[in-house]
Amino acid sequence: MRSKKSRGVFFAFGAVMAFAAVSACLSISGCNSSATGPTDTSEILLVYPKGGETFKIGSTMVVKWTEQGQGKTDVNAVVVQFSPDDGKTWINLTTQRSIVPGDADWEKFSWLIPDTLNSLKSGKFALANNAKCRIKVEQYEPQSIFETSKDFTITP
């Protein structure tokens, strides 16, 4: 039993030393190591709305986005979400499906702004005179690439 524990401590110590050596090597200029971290450049860029805008109930908001870097090939489906409370609650606006390249809604999703929205978790939200609204465009799966607007206002 003791030898297994000792090996575990030795392995942990060895892993820490290896990490320290790689970290030191990466911080020293001229180090000849091929060890590098991941360089994922996949991005979704929200073009509109950015935040600060005012929209009226009954009008159509056209949510616009684009992909950047590896996102042009990595992002193969998105969902558009709305938050009525500074990003605490997110409600899918694309409830029936995700949007994929080639769809008419790709990079420009039109949303007719209602007076209320329902969330299964949080109930009903009135949107009139709400200055804490946000939009998020997020990769459908895995949900690791997204961009969120700043707050905008919806008026009656």
* Residue among 96, 73, 78 at smallest CA distance from 148: 78
Place of tokens 């030191």: 24
Helix %, strand %, coil % of the chain (to 5): 20, 35, 45
Mean pLDDT across 60-81:
85
Give the C-alpha separation, 127 to 154, whole Å. 6
Q: Is the pLDDT of residue 90 over 50?
A: yes
* Residue among 12, 39, 35, 37 at smallest CA distance from 25: 35
The domains of the chain, with CATH numbers, are 1-37 (no CATH), 43-155 (2.60.40.230)
Q: How far from 18 is each of 15, 38, 39, 119, CA to CA, in Å?
A: 5, 18, 21, 49
Q: Which residues are CB-neighbours of 104 under 8 A, at least 6 positions away?
A: none
Computed over every residue of the chain, the mean pLDDT equals 77
Taking the model in full, what pTM does it have?
0.70
* Residue among 125, 62, 43 at smallest CA distance from 90: 125
Give the C-alpha separation, 129 to 59, whole Å. 14
- Selected residue with higher pLDDT from 44 and 35: 44
pLDDT, tens digit, 9 for 90 and up, residues 109-144: 999 999 999 887 778 899 999 999 999 999 887 767
Total residues belonging to the chain: 156
